[in-house]
């Protein structure tokens, strides 16, 4: 893809022979604490476009090189007119249009500003015990407009989200774990390993079912009681008629691992 974003495939999903693989996307600007510039945004968008089209990839992990996740937008690039936004996908090639497949963030070091917003665009967050999160944009005369101030109060209590957004301070992973925003805490240096363990467990499941489940969880937040089952049905009914659904039932009856085809 690009030198700024490295893509690697990692192993089979655990627990099911022939299950989907996991792709690791690594922001590769360690000297800049993985600050997101235009090249990073385009690299992430291009990688997701290519991987979304592959039926053998069932889940993703997003991480950063050199012991930090991302310090956010590259402000030097911003001053020179290098905007880290991709049309249709938003900041970092991700925040406005996350992939259909499950995405796990593996956070070491700092996930600040746009870096925190990238993590918030993921479905699951695994963080090192030394990781720190924050939205310091107000300290720089900016606003966390890449989803941070919209997603955060939907994930944690309102007043805590307000404190994080308005102070711009750094918050430890342990505090966000207590609030339910971080799924798992690992030893320092082990966030990627922990994220891969979880991503492989996810990838062992049927890809069509994973995509439909993610879509319903995200979109149903705005559905009314009167419409929610109808809208859910439009998304999940095709899954029940899929070859994978028949395979899942057959594998259970035959006491063997399923062979998913994404069909």
Residues annotated catalytic, as ranges = 117, 137
Contact of 174 with 181, CB cutoff 8 Å = no
5-12 and 21-27 beta bridge pairing = antiparallel
Which SS3 state, helix, strand or coil, does residue 132 take?
Answer: strand
Q: How far apart are alpha carbons 234 and 238 in whole angstroms?
A: 8
Angle between helices 243-254 and 207-219 (to 10 degrees): 120
Query: Rounded to whole angstroms, what are the CA distances from 6 to 59, 63, 172?
Result: 16, 10, 27
CB 116 within 8 A of CB 157: no
């Amino acid at each position: 893809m690009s030198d700024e974003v490295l893509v690697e495939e990692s192993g089979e999903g655990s627990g099911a022979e022939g299950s989907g693989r996991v792709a690791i996307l690594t922001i590769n600007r360690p000297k800049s604490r993985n600050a997101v510039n235009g090249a990073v945004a385009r690299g992430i968008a291009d990688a997701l476009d290519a991987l979304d089209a592959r039926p053998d990839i069932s889940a993703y992990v997003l991480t950063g090189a050199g012991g930090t996740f991302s310090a956010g937008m590259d402000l030097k690039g911003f001053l020179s007119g290098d905007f880290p936004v991709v049309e249709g996908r938003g900041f970092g090639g991700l925040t406005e249009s996350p992939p259909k497949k499950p995405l796990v963030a593996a956070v070491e070091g700092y996930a600040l500003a746009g870096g925190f917003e990238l993590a918030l665009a993921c479905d699951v967050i695994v963080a090192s015990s030394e990781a720190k999160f924050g939205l310091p944009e107000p300290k720089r005369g900016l606003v966390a407009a890449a989803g941070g101030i919209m997603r955060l109060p939907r994930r944690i209590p309102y007043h805590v989200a307000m404190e994080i957004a308005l102070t711009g301070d750094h918050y430890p992973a342990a505090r966000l774990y207590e609030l339910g925003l971080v799924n798992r805490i690992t030893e320092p240096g082990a966030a990627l390993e922990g994220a891969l363990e979880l991503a492989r467990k996810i990838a062992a499941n049927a890809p069509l079912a994973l995509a439909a489940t993610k879509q319903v969880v995200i979109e149903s937040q705005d559905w009314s009681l009167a419409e929610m089952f109808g809208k859910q049905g439009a998304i999940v009914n095709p899954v029940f008629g899929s070859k994978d659904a028949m395979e899942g039932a057959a594998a259970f009856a035959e006491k063997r691992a399923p062979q998913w085809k994404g069909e």
